[in-house]
Amino acid sequence: MSYQISFLQSEEDAEEFLDYMASVGIRFIHQGECVPVDEMYDDVVDEMNYSYIHAYAIVPAASDEFDDKILGAFTGVEYMICCKRNPQSRTYNIGRIYYRSDEDHPYNAQMIKLYKKLKAYIRKNYIYYKETWVYCGPHFKEGYDEKKFIAAQLGGYPLKLL
């Protein structure tokens, strides 16, 4: 079973999203440890600029008990950031928030609650494009309208926001 919501974010949108994550007590699984959001801002923005695709496992605040379950056959929430491969690029690939489970752990109420919080934030603060099934952060939308940013599907294929 899985759920996902796709979006486009500029670095500014990502920082605001991280602020929200911090306010609700989310932690990242990073290099085998549960890390507070405050320690991840630079890493997330760097990965946006230098990665083709990058995803983080994220967990609720009281997460030390999850480590083996999260890091093994991951059942939980994944934050896949909008990457552009290099700082000079204007093309941003779609990111997503993704809840997934495996056969051994088909349902995790805490993780579904976390996914729903993030989904509610995106629905409330981003613009939805029905034709492309993607939400667009307000700063990304402004840059897109000014032709500073280009929207792309994974793989770099252009995406028109109508």
The string of pLDDT tens digits covering residues 66-114 is 544 444 445 678 888 888 877 788 888 889 998 877 677 667 788 888 8
Q: In the structure encoding, which two tokens stand for residue 98, read together?
A: 């993704």
Q: Is residue 116 part of a domain?
A: yes
**What single letter denotes the amino acid at residue 98?**
Y
**What single letter denotes the amino acid at residue 83?**
C
What pLDDT is stored for residue 71 in this prediction?
Answer: 46
Q: Is residue 89 part of a domain?
A: yes
Residues 113-157 pLDDT 10s: 889 999 999 999 999 999 889 999 999 999 999 999 989 886 667
CB 67 within 8 A of CB 35: no
Q: Is residue 162 part of a domain?
A: no
Question: Which residue's entry shows tokens 């909008």?
Answer: 82
What pLDDT is stored for residue 70 in this prediction?
Answer: 46
What pLDDT is stored for residue 153 in this prediction?
Answer: 81
CA distances from 62 to 27, 86, 114 (A): 9, 35, 12
Question: Which residue's entry shows tokens 């952060």?
Answer: 137
Report how many domains make up the chain.
1
What are the residues whose beta carbons fall under 8 Å from the beta carbon of 85, sequence distance 6 or more? 49, 50, 51, 52, 91
| Rounded average pLDDT over 9-33 | 91
**What single letter denotes the amino acid at residue 88?**
Q
Note down the domain range covering 40: 2-152
